Every structure is written in C-alpha cells, then in structure tokens.
Amino acid sequence: MSMTWKALCAAALTIGLTACADVTARLDQLTGVTPAHAMVTAANPLATDAGYRVLMRGGSALDAAIAVQSVLTLVEPQSSGLGGGAFLLYWDAGTKTLHAYDGRETAPASAVPELFLKPSGRPQTLRAAIVGGKSVGVPGVVAMLSKAHGEHGRLQWSSLFDDAIRLSEEGFAVSPRLAGLIETFAPSLKAMPETSRYFFKEDGTPLAVGETLRNPAFAETLRSLATGGAEAFYEGPIAAAISDRVTTAPVNPAVMTTDDLAGYEPKEREPVCAPFRVYRVCAMPPPTSGGVTVLQILMLVEAVSLEPLKPGTVETIHLVAEAERLAYADRAIYLADPDFVDVPMGLLDPAYIGERANLIRVDRAMRKADAGVPPSLTGLQRYAPHRSPEWQGTTHFSIVDGAGNVASMTSSIEFVFGSQLMAGGFLLNNELTDFSFEPSRRGKPIANAVAAGKRPRSSMAPVIVFDAAGTPILAIGSPGGGNIIGYVAQALIDILDGGLSLQDAVAAPRYLDTGEGLKIEKGTALEALAPRLERLGHTVEITDLTSGLHAIRIWPDRLEGAADPRREGTVAGH
C-alpha cells in the first residue's frame, strides 16, 4: 500500500474521520503492481476471475469483456447487466485502431416528449419515475458486444458464458454490498413480484451476506444466447418476456413491443480525443456526455496551468473544480444523441477552450458558470439546459490481453437495481430517466428531451490514454451517475500530472463540482481543506462520493492494475 495514501489516512484518523479506516482495510486486500502481461480489473471478484480465465484460454480482451459482463449481470445486479446498455472503447493492437462502440439503450416507439410529465404539466419526481415500465429503454449491451465480438473475438461466442451459467446454477455468495442494497431498497423491490421472489425469502426477509443465491432463469437465458447469438435476445421468448414485463408492470406500465427490441442497432462511432500535456486522451463521443466533458476539463486545466498539478492541494482542487463547472455548464446545453441533435464538437476547439479558461481565476471561485458559445454552433443556442437530477449507479471494467488489445467498458442499468423489473433472470434498466423530464423550458426546447428511438444522454466515460508515440498506456473509467465525469477527470490528473501510483489515484479522496457546489468526500483528509476552499468562494458540501474506478496502467514490461477500495472489485493478471 502506498505511503501517500497511508499518510493521508493517518492525518484523517487523527481528527476523527473514520472512513479512511475502511478504505485502508480494502487496500490491504489489493495488489497494485503486477508483473502481468494480461489483466482484468472489475467490480466483483467472480467477474474478474471469469475474465481472467478467458484470457488464460487465449481469448481476446473483447472475449473477456463478454464473460465479465455476463457474470456482473448475476453477481452485481444493482449496477449493470444484460438488461441495460454500455459504452466500449477498444484498442485493436493488430491494426493499431481505436474503436468506440455505442450500446446505449433507445426509447421505444411509444415514447413521447411528455413521457415524464404529470397531468398538471409538471415533471414527475425522479424517484416516482424510476420504478416500473415507463423508465425502461431497449437494452443495448448484448447487441453491442455481439457486434464487437464479430470484429475482435478470438474464442467462440458460445464458450464465453460458461462461468455465468455455472454460477447461476450452483449459486454464489451474496456480497456485503448487494445484501445492503437489497435491504435498503426492500419496499420498492417487494412491489415487483419476480424481483421480490428473487431477493427475498418466503418470510419476506432479505437475503443476507454470505447466503447462496441461485438464478436458473438467467442460466436458461445465457444458454439461449450461447447457442442462438444476440438474435436470441432480441427475438423470440426473451424479447417477448421483456416486452410483457414492461407492458404489464405493476408500477408505471408502458409500451415496449417486440418490434422495438428486434429493431435495436448498436453503433460504432468515432472516438473523441484531445491532447493533455504529452499524452493523447481518448474517450466515447455522444450520446454520452462523459467523453467530451472529461476532455474539456483536462484541456481547461492545461490552459490555466502549465505546471503539473499536485494531488490533494487547495490549489489543484480549486482549479479542477472551476474547470468542471465550466464543462458541466456546456454539457447541460449541448450534449445529447447526435442522431437527433447537432452536437457542436467545437466544444473541444483549442481557441474556444482558451476563451473559457480566461474565466478561471486562481484566487477566486466564479459565482456562476454559464454555457459558452462554441465555434460552428448551429441551432443549439436556442436550447435550454437539462436540469434533471441523476442517481449514482453503473459499473466499469478494464482489460488488457496478451496481444496488447485493450478494453475500457462502462456498463449500466442506471439506478440501483434499474427499473426493478426482472425478465429472463436479469433486471431491466431505467435509463430513460436520463432524458430531461421537461421537453422544453420557457419556450426553449431541451436537446436531451425524450423522443422515440433516441438514446438518452449518459455520463459514462470509459477512457484510453496514449503516449506521444501512439501506444496505449492507461485504461480507466468509473460508475457514479453524473459524478462519473469528475471521478475520471480527477484520477487522470492525479496519474498523468500528479504522478500517483495507479492504486493511490484510484483510492484517493474524491472531490468534484458539477455546477451545484464543491463536493468533498466525507471521512477523508480533504475535509480539513474545506475552510480554505470556502474562503476562495466555494460552497462546500461534505458528502459520500462512492466512485468505482477500475484501471490498468500499461508499462513497457508489465501491467499495473487497480480496483477502487470503495467497492468490491479486484485485479487479476497472468
């Protein structure tokens, strides 16, 4: 374990901040540097092990990603699954090409801009809209992985579900995080008959830590996928079950037809990349806002400070927070599904970044950050900002195989347990609540408004970083809803600028500003900096910031892996 993190935690513990003790205990279980040449890091040890075994059989990073996602669907159902969507960055070492795969969910044909409005015309609350059928988008992760496997898979598709099938049938031990969340969300989970039968005993008590959970229905789904390919998910009994569950939901029933499922198409898009110091940082383009916004933050930081930033200092936190506020302000107006909205990629124009950077003062926080006017702007200046809240959820995993292929994939069903509806042994997403609940405000439309066939804006931000020679050196990403962007940006700055080891950067106390005030992670040494940050003009909130960063650093002679100690992830390599 790094002396950097030990020193921070020692300081925190002397002033009574106990969260560091939990993080330190988890860090003692993790090994950061490994002399491996192939590696997986994911949010649950069973998923990590499944991906590792695929690599040991000679599978590609893409093959391992399919195994990891299949097992995560089973053992981390609160965060991601086959009933949701994902974004995947994939470096093909053979062709030296970076691919960006969009497996984001789409709104069914029945979706209308007023989907989340009450009869009064006022927006529903987020909590009221999440549970049930109305929030479910057409799942995209299976189709996306199938498309990517056709281009980058080495092993037979049918062989990649073996671990998930075995664990579904034999059962797995319920983890502390899963047990805690089942108990926390018991009232709404119990309102869904299939979900209630799965997570609760006959007497109504929730499954406890260490108890065995079996899922024969999911095993059957996986066997259908193994033999029938992705088509078995989007047509036939599985598609019919998804459609039926959405349409007959006991809460917020909606219409999702089997035609909606059969018509889903994953997309390959052009990655977005930008320079940061001597590196080239590449990420997913819209419909996720994560990539563009992370790159804006990095470019703004570099435009203001030519010197590398030191992790965990008042000066660094202030500068990064100011850059985040500007980037999040642009995000609220401009970023949405590019198949429906003309997204101005001038947001990453160096001249525009320079103009925005001029708004940052090193001695004072700005009072309010407004969106800028990027070059080549078309009709988007007439849009109002999207202000709907976002819940924290999602998962991320990073994989490097022996041939040098790299996968950085963020996957989600959105809220904890998604819509809380189950079909085929897996939970269905609630990603449609990532749309703006208001289609317009004060006569101006909102770019991220609901529309049939549209992909809701996301915050997911899988990243791959390249050195000056064009060689990949880092794969990283995180869960966390709208906070994902800040988590990933801070980690990149701490690694690339601050020189932290990978495990230190992944475990470091978190801070971010999404435009609603500066959040500091509760129970960490950063709390002691709050008074100085407030004197600079920041409104500081001390709160839980449960990132879930999973990263791999690629050195010339070894791999360095890290898993966020705030969650249950592990690293495995060979």
List the CATH number of the domain containing 434.
3.60.20.40
Average pLDDT over residues 412-440: 97
What per-residue confidence (pLDDT) applies to 377? 78
Is 134 contained in some domain?
yes
What per-residue confidence (pLDDT) applies to 382? 75
- Per-residue burial over 350-366, b = 16 or more CB atoms within 10 Å of its CB, e = otherwise: eebbeebbebbeeeebe
Residues in the chain: 574
The residues, any chain, with a CB within 8 Å of residue 287's CB and separated by 6 or more, are 102, 104, 335, 336, 337, 338, 339, 455, 456, 457, 458
Going by DSSP bridges, is the β-strand pair 518-521/540-543 parallel, antiparallel, or unpaired?
A: parallel
**CA-to-CA distance for 373 and 555, rounded, in angstroms?**
40
**Residue at token pair 């008590």:** 205
Query: What total number of domains does the chain contain?
Result: 1
Phi/psi of residue 263, each to 5°?
-90, 0
Number of helical (H) and strand (E) elements in the chain, helices listed first: 20, 23
Specify burial of residue 314 (Cβ count, 10 A radius: 0-12, 13-18, 19+): middle
Q: Whose CA is closest to 372, among 301, 300, 304?
A: 300
Confidence of residue 387 (pLDDT cuts 50, 70, 90): confident
**Residue at token pair 């500081």:** 540
pLDDT(190) > 60: yes
Q: What percent of the chain has pLDDT over 90?
A: 89
Confidence of residue 12 (pLDDT cuts 50, 70, 90): very low
- Rounded to whole angstroms, the maximal C-alpha distance in the chain is 64
Average pLDDT over residues 382-390: 81
Confidence of residue 367 (pLDDT cuts 50, 70, 90): confident
Is 303 contained in some domain?
no
**CA-to-CA distance for 393 and 481, rounded, in angstroms?**
6
Is 331 contained in some domain?
no
**CA-to-CA distance for 512 and 536, rounded, in angstroms?**
15
Cβ(299)–Cβ(346) under 8 Å? Answer: no
Is 278 contained in some domain?
no
Question: Is residue 378 flagged as an active site residue?
Answer: no
pLDDT(389) > 90: no
State the virtual CA torsion across 433, 85, 245, 71 in degrees, nearest 10: -130
Report pLDDT digits (tens) over 286-298: 999 999 999 999 9
Of 394, 395, 410, 570, which is the active-site residue?
394
**Which residue segment(s) compose the domain that 38 sits in?**
3-119+127-171+214-269+388-573
One-letter amino acid for residue 201 of the chain: K
Q: Whose CA is closest to 68, among 415, 562, 570, 574?
A: 570
What per-residue confidence (pLDDT) applies to 7? 45
- Per-residue burial over 372-386, b = 16 or more CB atoms within 10 Å of its CB, e = otherwise: bebeeeeebeebbbb
Average pLDDT over residues 435-454: 95
The residues, any chain, with a CB within 8 Å of residue 109's CB and separated by 6 or more, are 257, 259, 260, 452, 453
Q: Whose CA is closest to 323, among 289, 299, 351, 292?
A: 299
Average pLDDT over residues 189-203: 96
Is 511 contained in some domain?
yes
**CA-to-CA distance for 84 and 142, rounded, in angstroms?**
9
What value, to the nearest 5°, has the Cα angle with vertex 566 and ends 132 and 498?
125
Cβ(454)–Cβ(534) under 8 Å? Answer: no
Greater model confidence, 344 or 25? 344
Average pLDDT over residues 436-461: 96
- Per-residue burial over 242-258, b = 16 or more CB atoms within 10 Å of its CB, e = otherwise: bbebbeebebbebebbe
Q: Which two tokens stand for residue 224?
A: 């259908």
**CA-to-CA distance for 309 and 317, rounded, in angstroms?**
9
One-letter amino acid for residue 365 of the chain: A
The full DSSP string for 146-191 is: HHHHHHH--S-GGGTTHHHHHHHHH-EEPPHHHHHHHHHTHHHHTT
Average pLDDT over residues 101-126: 96
**CA-to-CA distance for 87 and 458, rounded, in angstroms?**
10
Specify burial of residue 443 (Cβ count, 10 A radius: 0-12, 13-18, 19+): exposed
Is 336 contained in some domain?
no
Report pLDDT digits (tens) over 158-183: 999 999 999 999 999 999 999 999 99
- Kind and range of the H or E run holding 207: none
Q: What percent of the chain has pLDDT over 70?
A: 93
Is 309 contained in some domain?
no
Phi/psi of residue 31, each to 5°?
-110, 125
Report pLDDT digits (tens) over 68-92: 999 999 999 999 999 999 999 999 9
Report pLDDT digits (tens) over 244-260: 999 999 999 999 999 99
Is 186 contained in some domain?
no
The full DSSP string for 460-491 is: ---EEEE-TTS-EEEEE----GGGHHHHHHHH
